[in-house]
């Protein structure tokens, strides 16, 4: 037996669909509190020392957290080439905006304290705010547009044609609602992180913003579900489903219909756990904000993020990227993957390196555990930003 045949093609495709979700959730949870902290920076820190405290809660770890974004992009490139080709070309301007905003973060961290000027430091504080807001907003907007369908099609030679024109087309009402949900979700997560890592007035302000963000997360998540049920058509395969055939998106027929994004919950009732976790995590975060165990709200917001992102993936399965222009060109788990051998080799590599990344990350957080002390910021001891 050839080694890669130990796992059949269908199973490997599902595994890599799950791994893609794990990597995206890992990015949202691990880098999400960095983004949320950046968005809160100008508001929870009222003077230079307080803002430096906020920055130093994420300064030592943000680079390691961002590895999840790199892994997610690499997984899309290697495991789902058509998805990479369509999304990274169709959402090119959106991706550029995200990358530009993410580049502001390291520059802001490194250059903010290079000068004593209040105007200089305030400018970089707002740059860090933009570096948190824009990725959170645009990624949420992108998810909202994916749920509605993206205007692309394949020619008979499988050449991709994308008929979207401007970035502003993505900023439709439902897309903006999803973007606001993403912002609220990550602000909730960032506020919980600041409560864990700071003390005094900074922690108190973060707690107040966290309460508002948790309420907004619950309301926006509920509104998004209602809107998706009543006003957004879903996509489903109407031809015979071939789960282990070659990756040819045109070898099927797809139709749009109302309520389709909720069919999986009727066919597989266990999937309801995902939206339940989205609501329960946010409610737990809201209820436990003033608890003594400050790590618990962070875990609760992480559970909410897990539930919200999983809800999108489970609702769409097996769709990955539906086409509003030509539904038959929609990309699914069964026709947008790399070859059987490629998926198997990547799985072996992933099984080796993901545990190493998790172990190293856990060790780093263990070493850096504890609150950021204002006294160390004021007297310049250590290597504070």
* pLDDT recorded at residue 1: 47
Q: How many CB atoms lie within 10 A of CB 239?
A: 11
Please provide residue 321's backbone torsions phi and psi, each rounded to the nearest 5 degrees: -145, 95
Instruction: Assess contact for 224 and 199: CB atoms under 8 A.
Output: no
Q: Could you tell me the two tokens for 380?
A: 């310049």
* pLDDT recorded at residue 165: 59
Q: Could you tell me the two tokens for 210?
A: 């966290």
Indicate left, alpha or beta for 84 from its phi (over 0: left) and psi (-120 to 50: alpha): alpha
DSSP 372: P
* pLDDT recorded at residue 93: 86
Calculate the dihedral angle through the C-alpha atoms of 162, 163, 168, 173, rounding to the nearest 10 degrees: -100
Instruction: Assess contact for 87 and 27: CB atoms under 8 A.
Output: no
b/e sequence 183-209, b meaning 16+ C-beta within 10 Å: bbbbbbbbbbbbbbbbeeebbebbbeb
Of 379, 360, 370, 368, give the one whose Cα is nearest residue 60. 368
Read out DSSP for 80-96? -HHHHHHHHHHTHHHHH
Distance of CA 196 to the CA centre of its chain: 22
Residue the block writes with tokens 């990725």:
135
* pLDDT recorded at residue 59: 85
Residue the block writes with tokens 């770890």:
61
Instruction: Assess contact for 320 and 332: CB atoms under 8 A.
Output: yes
User: Can you give the pTM of this predicted structure?
Assistant: 0.94
Local confidence pLDDT in tens for the 385 residues of the chain: 465 677 899 999 999 999 999 999 999 999 999 999 999 999 999 888 899 999 999 988 888 888 898 889 889 999 999 999 998 888 888 889 999 999 998 899 888 888 888 899 999 999 999 999 999 999 999 999 999 999 999 998 888 888 875 677 888 999 999 999 999 999 999 999 999 999 989 999 999 999 999 999 999 999 999 999 999 999 999 999 999 888 999 999 999 999 999 999 999 999 999 999 999 999 999 988 776 788 999 999 999 999 999 999 999 999 999 999 999 999 999 999 999 999 999 999 999 989 998 999 899 888 888 888 877 777 765 567 7
């Amino acid at each position: 037996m050839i080694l890669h045949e130990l796992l059949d093609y269908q199973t490997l495709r599902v595994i890599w669909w799950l791994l893609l979700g794990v990597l995206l959730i890992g990015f949202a949870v691990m880098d999400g509190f960095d983004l949320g902290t950046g968005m809160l920076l100008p508001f929870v820190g009222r003077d230079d020392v307080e803002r430096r405290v906020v920055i130093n809660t994420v300064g030592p770890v943000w680079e390691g957290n961002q590895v999840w974004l790199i892994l997610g992009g690499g997984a899309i490139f290697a495991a789902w080439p058509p998805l990479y080709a369509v999304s990274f070309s169709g959402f090119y301007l959106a991706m550029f905006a995200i990358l530009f905003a993410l580049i502001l973060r390291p520059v802001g961290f490194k250059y903010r304290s290079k000068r004593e000027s209040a105007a200089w430091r305030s400018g970089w504080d707002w740059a860090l705010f933009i570096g948190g807001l824009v990725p959170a907003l645009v990624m949420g907007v992108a998810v909202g547009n994916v749920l509605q369908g993206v205007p692309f099609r394949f020619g008979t030679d499988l050449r991709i044609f994308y008929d979207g024109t401007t970035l502003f087309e993505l900023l439709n009402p439902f897309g903006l609602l999803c973007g606001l949900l993403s912002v609220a979700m990550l602000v909730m997560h960032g506020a919980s992180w600041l409560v864990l890592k700071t003390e005094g007035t900074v922690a108190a302000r973060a707690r107040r913003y966290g309460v508002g963000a948790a309420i907004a997360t619950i309301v926006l998540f509920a509104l998004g579900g209602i809107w998706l049920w009543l006003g957004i058509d879903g996509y489903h395969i109407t031809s015979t489903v071939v789960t282990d055939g070659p990756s040819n998106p045109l070898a099927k027929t797809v139709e749009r219909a109302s309520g389709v994004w909720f069919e999986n919950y009727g066919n597989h009732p266990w999937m309801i756990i995902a939206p339940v976790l989205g609501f329960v995590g946010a409610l737990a975060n809201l209820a436990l904000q003033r608890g003594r165990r400050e790590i618990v709200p962070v875990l609760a917001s992480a559970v909410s993020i897990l539930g919200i992102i999983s809800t999108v993936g489970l609702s769409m399965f097996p769709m990955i990227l539906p086409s509003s222009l030509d539904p038959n060109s929609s990309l699914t788990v069964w026709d947008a993957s790399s070859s059987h051998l490629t998926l198997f080799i990547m799985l072996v590599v992933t099984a080796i390196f993901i545990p190493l990344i998790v172990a190293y990350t856990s060790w780093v957080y263990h070493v850096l555990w504890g609150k950021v002390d204002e006294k160390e910021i004021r007297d310049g001891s250590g290597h504070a930003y």
